[in-house]
Structure 1
Amino acid sequence: MSLVALKTLFNRDLNRLKAEIGLYQDESCIWHIEKSISNSARNLCLHLIGNLNTYIGATLGNTNYIRNRALEFSTKDIPKKVLIEKIEETRSIIIETLSNLSLETLKTEYPLLVLETKTTTEFFLIHLATHLNYHLGQINYHRRLLDK
């Protein structure tokens, strides 16, 4: 996979994430959980922001981002506008970081052991893209199901 393809996919899907959050007509629904839905769209969004800033921004881009994963799922009452700004900041960091990577870096071992076994940087970036899409789909479904 090329760096151009990775940048294109992350750019596309982080823009989709911004759009999904922006499409909620009732802002209070972004926090809504019901029955077996245990994570709100806003908490999933914060989780994606923390995940990408940690594993791409901080690890590959040396941004000094410090993640507090527990807050991704416990923080409440962040306005939709602020959330969209955070997504855009994350998108910029991801695109800049990927722009500064070399093709050789993609073939090297990813610096952290996150999954069960060591992986290449390329494999882990693909994993992060699919993780983003997984939660993006959950947020889309959440919005269509629960937004009034």
Structure 2
Amino acid sequence: MLIQTLKTLFHRDLNRLKREFELYRNEEIIWHTEKGIANSAGNLCLHLVGNLNTYIGAELGKTGYIRHRELEFSLKDIPRIELIEQVEKTITVVENVLNTLTNEQLDNEYPILIFDEKTTTGYLLVHLTTHLAYHLGQINYHRRLLDLH
């Protein structure tokens, strides 16, 4: 049951992430920051892609993905279409990995330490859905606040 719920939430919110970038009228605004807004929507997208490809793809799916976290916040001006393509690839990775998981694996300890103490794989996957939703909300607000033209 939890696996199906996770699949549904990741699918829904990663497609919403893709849609947010399709809705920007002015592509340059994707990389814009304003006073009090530390990260652009583009950088948040790169962060989400890196996060999910690391903790789901590389760790659980053994995809070989190598994360460059510092670039998630320093790269700029990547075309919208490339961001959308990265999200689409991430959707595939997440779906493929979740399709291989068992309920028993969800109860197992997640292989690497992420927080102050070890967690189960299920706990970490639930955390990743809330992390995605949190930044998705920020991107939505960024678009509605700054993409006025």
- What range is the shorter-chain TM-score in? over 0.9
Q: Displacement of 1:115 after TM fit?
A: 1.0
Calculate percent identity across the aligned residue pairs. 63
* Number of the residue aligned with 1:20: 20
* Number of the residue aligned with 1:146: 146
Q: Displacement of 1:84 after TM fit?
A: 0.2
* Number of the residue aligned with 2:60: 60
Secondary structure, aligned partner of 1:52: helix
Q: Does 1:11 align with 2:15?
A: no
* Number of the residue aligned with 1:100: 100
* Number of the residue aligned with 1:37: 37
TM-score w.r.t. the length of structure 2 is 0.98
* Number of the residue aligned with 1:117: 117
**C-alpha separation between the residues in 2 aligned to 1:22 and 1:60?**
30
**C-alpha separation between the residues in 2 aligned to 1:77 and 1:113?**
33
Q: Displacement of 1:47 after TM fit?
A: 0.1
**C-alpha separation between the residues in 2 aligned to 1:118 and 1:59?**
15
**C-alpha separation between the residues in 1 aligned to 2:117 and 2:131?**
17
What is the RMSD computed on CA atoms of the aligned residues? Answer: 0.6
Paired residue total: 148
**C-alpha separation between the residues in 2 aligned to 1:93 and 1:49?**
10
Secondary structure, aligned partner of 2:13: helix
1:19-60 residue CA offsets vs partner (Å, 9 max, x unmatched) = 011100000000000001010000000000000000000000
Ranges of 4+ aligned residues in structure 1 off by more than 6 Å: none
Secondary structure, aligned partner of 2:37: coil
Q: Displacement of 1:77 after TM fit?
A: 1.4
**C-alpha separation between the residues in 2 aligned to 1:102 and 1:45?**
29
**2:34 aligned partner, one-letter code:** E
- Structure 1: runs of 5 or more not aligned: none
